[in-house]
Amino acid sequence: MKIAVAGTGYVGLVTGTCLAEMGQTVVCFDVQEEKIAALQQGRSPIYEPDLEQLIEKNMEAGRLSFTAEEKEAYGEADIVFLAVGTPEKEDGSADLTYIEAAVSSIAQNMTKDIVLVTKSTVPVGTNERMRVMIERWKPRFLRASVISNPEFLREGSAIHDWFYGDRIVIGASEADREAAELLIRLYEPLGIPIVRTDLASAEMIKYASNAFLATKISFINEIANICEKVGATIDDVAYGIGLDKRIGSHFLRAGIGYGGSCFPKDTKALVQIAGNVQHQFELLEAVIQVNNHQQALLVEKAKQYMSLRGKNVALLGLAFKPNTDDVREAASIVIANRLLAEGAHVVAYDPIATNNAKRHLPSSVRYARSVTEAIRDADAAFIVTEWDVIKQTPLSVFREKMRIPIIFDGRNCYSLEEAKQANVTYVSIGRAAVVGEGCEVKKGKY
């Protein structure tokens, strides 16, 4: 089979590369010619562990290619995976402009029957509308089947998730049963459980999955905030409830909230989808509200200890999570802007995401090339992303390099015992603060 992938973002590029790694012949299409030119040289436009090596390997093997020519991409394709963006509109709903443009292009360039597989996250009912669109634009004598096949790839571990995922969801109408069987055969070598549903259910599974995980994150963050007020320790609480098999330990890590390209966008889109059928999703509205508050929590904590005006602040971590260069909806953006508004001087460090962050952060933010450079002579350090290079920096280094060793840790990277031994002032999430002797920091006094 010949496979085409529309879109070379996180989902499209990983999808195309992994299909090629499975032995398929794949061509990836994108309208951005500069991006395609870089990919043709084996350079990935995004950071994802092992992705660039797999791109080079499969290009050399002749299984993977890239093009900005629509006919070259879609003209001979048997299966087309749709992986274009569905950005958020002002009202929280998904913008389907790129979906519609891609479907139009595919329909007008197809030369044989195709299976159109939607990887993009789209509102419930979109695949049915796509079926109407493609019927309108395609040659009358050709058939186009429409399949919903949502992705569950985590940025930073997307390659692993492709080959060792929890499930593969395939949604299709009864009329497209054969096309669904074709896709099942394509995925069977992975040995991952396959869930067969109708189109609407497959679309809803994606939104419901992300909304549930976002809910779990906001829940444990609210519990952490209560822990601080009643003298409990969130690490022990999360461990204790996570042992319950009905709850599980995943996504019970307290911190400064979720970010990235999926959870913020998909939670708001699901609220909008519910509203479109006259259902107020009050629980999810609260989840979003909690997360918005949580992202600014570190700055509020810092203001209890010091005036930030004129202070040198190190901002450690800019990506929304480790092992990615994605800063979309990252807590670092909220925190940096809040710090600057308070009059602080911000020096930021991230091992991968600095270039992307520069496009989102104010020009007054300065950038360091290492943790130690960022914290040198700092009055405070904010840990925002739990990169290994940050977690593995001993707290004794903070004590040695900073002017005042006070650390506000939004990811609970260190134990309280480590903070006591290093004799630093350490303020984390859902745990008692540690105040180092001789740090010259007293709550509300500095």
369 is in an annotated binding site: no
94 is in an annotated binding site: no
Q: Dump strand ranges (E) for 216-330.
A: 312-316
Rounded to the nearest 10 degrees, how much is the dihedral formed by the CA atoms of 180, 186, 191, 197? -10
Scored b (16 or more CB within 10 A) or e, 149-171 reads bbbbbbbbbbbebbeebeebbbb
86 is in an annotated binding site: yes
The DSSP bridge pattern shows strands 380-383 and 312-316 to be: parallel
Q: Encoding tokens for residue 390? A: 């940050």
Please answer whether residues 125 and 203 qualify as being in contact, where contact means their C-beta atoms are separated by less than 8 angstroms: yes
Distances, alpha carbon 328 to alpha carbons 170, 257, 318, 324, 359, in Å: 28, 13, 10, 11, 11
121 is in an annotated binding site: yes
Q: 406 — alpha (psi -120 to 50), left (phi > 0) or beta?
A: beta
35 is in an annotated binding site: yes
67 is in an annotated binding site: no
185 is in an annotated binding site: no
416: CB partners within 8 A, 6+ apart: 426, 428, 431, 432, 434
183 is in an annotated binding site: no
- Just list the catalytic residues: 262
265 is in an annotated binding site: yes
328 is in an annotated binding site: yes
321 is in an annotated binding site: yes
Alpha carbon distance 13, 83 (integer Å): 9
63 is in an annotated binding site: no
Question: CB 289: neighbour CB atoms within 10 A?
Answer: 11
> At 348, which amino acid appears?
A
155 is in an annotated binding site: yes
Alpha carbon distance 257, 19 (integer Å): 33
Secondary structure (DSSP) of 20-66 = HHTT-EEEEE-S-HHHHHHHHTT--SS--TTHHHHHHHHHHTTSEEE
Question: CB 285: neighbour CB atoms within 10 A?
Answer: 15
> At 299, which amino acid appears?
V
254 is in an annotated binding site: yes
* Helix/strand number for the chain, H first, E second: 19, 14
Please answer whether residues 116 and 127 qualify as being in contact, where contact means their C-beta atoms are separated by less than 8 angstroms: no
Of the candidates 79, 65, 67, the residue with the CA atom closest to the CA atom of residue 30: 67
154 is in an annotated binding site: yes
338 is in an annotated binding site: no
Binding-site residues for NAD(+), in ranges, read: 30, 35, 86, 121, 155, 265, 328
Binding-site residues, in ranges, read: 30, 35, 86, 121, 152-155, 206, 251-255, 259, 265, 321, 328
Binding-site residues for substrate, in ranges, read: 152-155, 206, 251-255, 259, 321
